Structure formats: structure tokens, C-alpha cells
A and B are shown apart, each in its own frame.
Chain A
Amino acid sequence: MTTSSGSGSVSIALCGSGGAGVMTAANMFVDAAAEAGFYALFGRSSGPQIRGGEAAALLRLAAKPITSVDDTFDIMLAVDWLGVQRFAAELPLSKSTLIICDPAAGEVPEVYVKTGARIVHLPMKDLAKAIPGGRPNMIALGAVAALVGFPVQPLTEVLGKSLKKKRADAYEASVAAVKKGAEFAASLGDTKKLPAPSPNPGKRLAIAGNAATGLGAIRGGVKFCAAYPITPATEVLEYLSSALPKVGGVFVQAEDELASVNMCIGGSYGGAPSITATAGPGLALMIEGLGLSVASETPVVVVDVQRVGPSTGIATKCEQSDLNIAVYGLHGDAPHLVVAPNSIGDCLFTTQWGVHLAEVLQSPCIVLSDQALGQSRAIIDAPPELNLPGGRLTATTPAEGETFKRYANTESGVSPMPIPGVEGCQYTADGLEHTETGTPSSQSSDHNMQLDKRQRKLTNYDYADHWATIEGEGDIAVITWGSCTGAAREAIDRARADGVKARLISLRLVYPTRPQHMGDALKGVKKILVVEQSHLGQFTRYLRGEYDLPVKPEQLSRPGPLPMRPGEIHARLLSMGK
């Protein structure tokens, strides 16, 4: 496999058993790098234990915005080796990788030795012992920072912020340990260095995808959230439970996902834009409720932070395998909205947009995020503040003698929806098929009229340029979505350097489809590569089933839990470009 690891960035894995403090060290490094003007992507991997399990902090730092993991790690530091061999598949190393380990921790596992990586010793425990209150993870932090050329000053500032107020002695000890680690690093040889940070970075955010999703919901005007905890969506709820009340909204922890989605439908019926967040198993439980939202035309937004399925699957890992249930899972002919963020920053916009669309189109909207976006923390450029004008089309008291028609067969397909409290507009929202006034009906004419109306409002709507992220030119098109977008983007950049030109089409509006727009985006394309993280190739099948593609697409798809990396896409592009 030809890989050319991303230049201008450094990837670091900090490993150790829980309690060794690798996550804390990594967080401090990211915070310090952010202060210094860098961009970062910070994922984590851990065992199933609630406390004490093996853990790995996976960092990538760069001077320019990054949206993907790299192919291999430049540095792997292990505070200890307890259980760390489990991460072997997730920690691709190469001959140019530097493995840093404590000689006191024992032999390096064979799986890492055979990668040919250079192995050096950093006696973290002993060095820490020499400092009263010193900790091995701070030695590690100092050493790694120094190795990549990162100055000690911003690190000690971050230490100051987190420790100084609480415990002056701990602060002093940590600073001493970081300095000690940095000094020792000089003896470990040379490795890849961080480029100079951007001198004038624009407005940046330090945020995780799930928090960005929560913030997007608030930007979209959400005022009600009922939800049930589930990995890897929990942080959306964690965020909203504290943020929503601050903007006058209500957060409820429901008894299950059935309650979550139906409470949201109730809140929305009452006039509050509503959202819930879940993962695949929860989405499966919510599907009947989404059908009710379709039939009763009550807006609701469901965020699905996809994880490896089916069933409980691998709850903490990413996979893009809920596409089918999101698009085709509802019983009956039930047109609805499915949107997918394609970067951590885009979680903010796409969720905001999803809320907006649900409200404007009186439809359920599934926001298909994924674990890699949701649970990774990043330093990103602040997404633009987009003003999405308009909202729910409401109704006012009809003229004397006039009958209010909740499901009026309007040209746009959107009918005025009263907020309870408006006199003369009382209606019964119903999952039963109904007439224009909402009275239950089993007449074919009513069924046809309402089916047409519910379809029309979604297909005729102008989604503008938001339907997809389109970048670059070339007669190869890479069509992808979600968290695979970052890897595809980086692969396309690398291929361009190799003289192969490809364009990126990352679908944000998964449903309804945009045949006209897709046709325009694919004009002149000779080859198509579909990139996705699914064993069945759900996205490829969806594209081939829903769109008239000009050529039969090539498919690069595989399941989670391993992330799609730029190198494999790059290699495929080079062979397609021959």
C-alpha cells in the first residue's frame, strides 16, 4: 500500500491503563496546542471497564485545519503495557514511528515490536519518583512535547489554569515533572517536528462533535429535549441538560427511547422545537414515533450518533451502518428528512439546519452523526454563524364561519400548524390517515392527497447548496458522507500532489434525494469512488438505488471499528487515475 503520511502534522498515541493519567496529559497537550495557535483532533479509545481499563489518547496536531486521522502514528508513548496490545489494530505504526516506553513496564508487546518502529526508553516512574509529588504522566507530557518541538511555556500555563488555584503543591510538582520529561527527551533522538503554528489563526473553537451537535440544536432554536442515555450519544444529552435550561428550554431524562421521541413529539405539538439524541438501538425503538411525526406532520429531530451494529455491536466505535434504517426504516410510505454532518464543526451547522428543516417542513429529521465525529474533540475554525430565516408556519384564528384545515392541501405541501392556545384552530393530530381537517379517514382520495402533500413538501423545497459539500475538480468523483469525509478530503489533496485530480462530494442531505443537483455535481466525471464505513456497502447501494449515476461506482467500504484512513483512499485514487 502506498501511503504518504500527512505532512505538516504530528500524530501521537498516549497509552496506559486507566488511572495512569494519559487522558489528562493528552487533554493538557491539546489545550496548550490550542493556545499556541494549532489545530487538533483528539480521539480516544478504551477498554470496556468503567474504571481502570486500558486507554489510549489519539492526538493529531497541525498548523492547518484537519478533519481526519492520519495513516500512522509518529509517536506512541506507553506509560505501561497493561492491555495496550488490544489497541494494536487501532494504532497503526511504521518504521518511522517512535515508541517511547518505561523500561520498568517490561517488554514491548511483540505486535508493536514487529512494526519495525524505533523503541526508546523513558524511565517515567523513576524520573517522577525523584520529584516530590511528581507523576509519570507529566514526565510523558514534557517528553513528548519536547520531542515534537513544542515549547514548555504553554504547557505550564495550562497546568497553572487547571491546578494552581486548587493545589499549589501539585502545580509545582507537575511543572517540575514536565520540565524533567522535556530535558530527558533530548537523549531520545530525533523525530517528526510540528510545523510553526499559524501566526494569526482566525476564531477557533475547542469542541467535540457531540457538544457541537448540542450547540447546533440551540442555535436552531430547540426548546425541548427528552432523551435516554446511550453511548456514544450521551455527551449530546450531557451538553443539552445544562445548556437548554439556560436558554429557557426544558430537558427531561425519559424512561426509554419510546418515551423520548414521543415526549419530543408532544413538546413539538405544543410549539417547542424538539430534539432527542440516541444511537442505533435507540433509533430502532424510536422508529414508530417517527412514523407518527410523519403522519401527524409534527416536527421532531432525532440525532443518531452511529456506532458499530447490529444490536449492541461495539458501542464505543464508529460505523456508518444506520443509513438503511434511517432512510428506509419507517413502515408505510413515509417521506422524511435525513441529514448528516461531515465534520466535527459541521455537527453544529447540520444540526442547526436539521432543526430548521424539521420546523419549516413539519417533518421528522434524522441527523446521522457518528461516533468518530461525536466523541472526538477538536480545535477547529469556528463555523460561520448562519442565519436560517423562517420557521414553523403557524396559524391564526380563522374568520367567523370558516373551518380551520390543519392538513390543508396547499401548493407547497406545508399547511399552517397552530400552536395550542390559538382560538378556533383546535385540531386533533393523528397517526390515522385523515382528511384536510384532520378527521380520520380510510378513503383512498384522502390517503392519496395526504401522501402527495407530505412527499411534495420535502421534494419541492429548495435546500440550496447545503445538500452537499463539494470541493475540487477532476474527472474522478469521490462520493462519501459523515466522518469518512475528512479522510477522503485528505486523500484527494495527496492525490492532487501526485497529479491525480478528484472532486469531493460529501452528501449532507441524505433524504430526500437531489437528482438534479447530483447530476450537475457529477458533470464530466469519468470515474466514481464511493467511500463509506459499512460492511454491506449501504451508502453505495443507496446511491445506486436512488441516483442515476453516470458510471458504475467503485466501492471502498468496510465496517467499523477501525476508522477510514486517508492512505487507503489515496492509494485507490492513484490506481483509478492511472
Chain B
Amino acid sequence: MSKAPDFGAVKTSAELLSIARAMELNSVERYRELAEAFEISCNPDTAEAFRELAEDEARQAADFPVPAAGLAQVVPWFEEDPEIADPGAVHYLMHPWHALDLGLRHQERSLALFAALAEQSPFAEVKAEALRLVERERGHVAEITAKRDRLPEPPDDWEDDLDPPNWEAGD
């Protein structure tokens, strides 16, 4: 589901940076949450991959200045936060490769978003800042692609479940 983005909602460079930072921090939280979920599900390798993604995002967030006016909560010109992982995109048996692939898709979506803003924003200041962000995201995309490609690709039958669902703590 999506609404038409409102590219005029961000009016200044500072606002955009604040939003970019909030996006990174949201991702940190989301990746940590996934790491914990995979730990609980006894898939430590994928948990570790999500934890690394969370750390990467935390480093990226630190690149941005802490805004004086507090943290932006949502991305106002788009319905969804592009760096929040799709809850439906994970599976408890998924491999670290999948985790990075998911991370990559999100980076690509951010990139596309900033690129669109750079093109459509009515404000010159915002356009310029969005272009800088596009460059930055390109770097992140390259990095994460390389990381993913260093990992072995999962076998075709990775999703095969040898056990039925079971709840240790069924209520």
C-alpha cells in the first residue's frame, strides 16, 4: 500500500538530515529486534548478520548531526519508512546471505527515495542535500553488496522445514 509521496513536505536541508538520521536509527532498532528474534529462534548465524547490519546502521546514523529540535519520527513525504525491514520478508530458517540481501534491498529503496527527492523537491537546498545523500547511499549499497557476495549463496532447499512448528512455551 502506498500513497503518492509529498516531496514538498521537507523544506530545509536540516530537516532532511534529521529525517535521514531518524531513518538510520529506526533501522538500527529494527535490525536489533530481528537479531533478537533469530537468537530466540536458535538461528545464531542470521542473528549475527542482523546484529552487524544494526551496527552498520548505527555507524551511519552517527555521521549525521544530532538535530537540535529533537528527532524526526516519521518520513513525512512517504507512507513507509524505507529502511524498516518488511516483516513478511523474513523466515526463521533464512541464512545470513538473506539477511544481507534484505539489507541491500532496503538500502536500494532509500537510494531511490533520495534520488526521487533530489529530482522532485521544489527547494534547491533540499535538492542539493538529497543529492549528497544519494552519493552516500550509493556507497552503502556497494558496501553491503560486497558483503553479501562474500557469503555463500543458500542452497535451493533452505526453506525445507524438517520439523513441524512447536512451541516450547505454548500457553
Contact = CB atoms under 8 A, between A and B. Distances in A.
Chains A and B share a contact (CB less than 8 Å)? yes
B171 interface: yes
B168 A442 contact: yes
A432 B171 contact: yes
A53 interface: no
Interface in A425-443: 432, 440, 442
Determine the main DSSP class of B at the interface with A. Answer: loop
Contacts, number: 5
Interface in A392-433: 432
B68 interface: no
Interface in A195-231: none
Measured as residues with beta carbon below 8 angstroms from the partner, the interface class of chain A is under 10
Interface residues of B, number: 3
Interface string B141-171: 0000000000000000000000000001101
Contacts of A440: 169
A476 B171 CA distance: 52
Interface string A434-471: 00000010100000000000000000000000000000
Nearest to B168: A442
Determine the main DSSP class of A at the interface with B. Answer: loop
Contacts of B168: 442
Contacts of B169: 432, 440, 442
A432 B171 CA distance: 8
Contacts of A432: 169, 171
Contacts of B171: 432
Nearest to B171: A432
A442 B168 CA distance: 9
A50 to B, nearest CB: 44
A375 to B, nearest CB: 41
A442 B169 CA distance: 8
A440 B168 CA distance: 12
A442 B171 CA distance: 11
A428 to B, nearest CB: 13
A426 B169 CA distance: 23
A288 to B, nearest CB: 13
Interface string B19-34: 0000000000000000
A440 B169 CA distance: 9
A108 B169 CA distance: 70
A504 B102 CA distance: 78
A440 B40 CA distance: 14
Interface string A273-299: 000000000000000000000000000
B166 to A, nearest CB: 14
A332 to B, nearest CB: 14
B71 to A, nearest CB: 24
A432 B169 CA distance: 10
A446 to B, nearest CB: 13
A522 B168 CA distance: 50
Interface in A292-311: none
A507 B168 CA distance: 44
Nearest to A440: B169
Nearest to A441: B169
Q: Which 5 A-B pairs have the closest CB atoms?
A: A442-B169, A440-B169, A432-B171, A442-B168, A432-B169
5 contacts: A432-B169, A432-B171, A440-B169, A442-B168, A442-B169
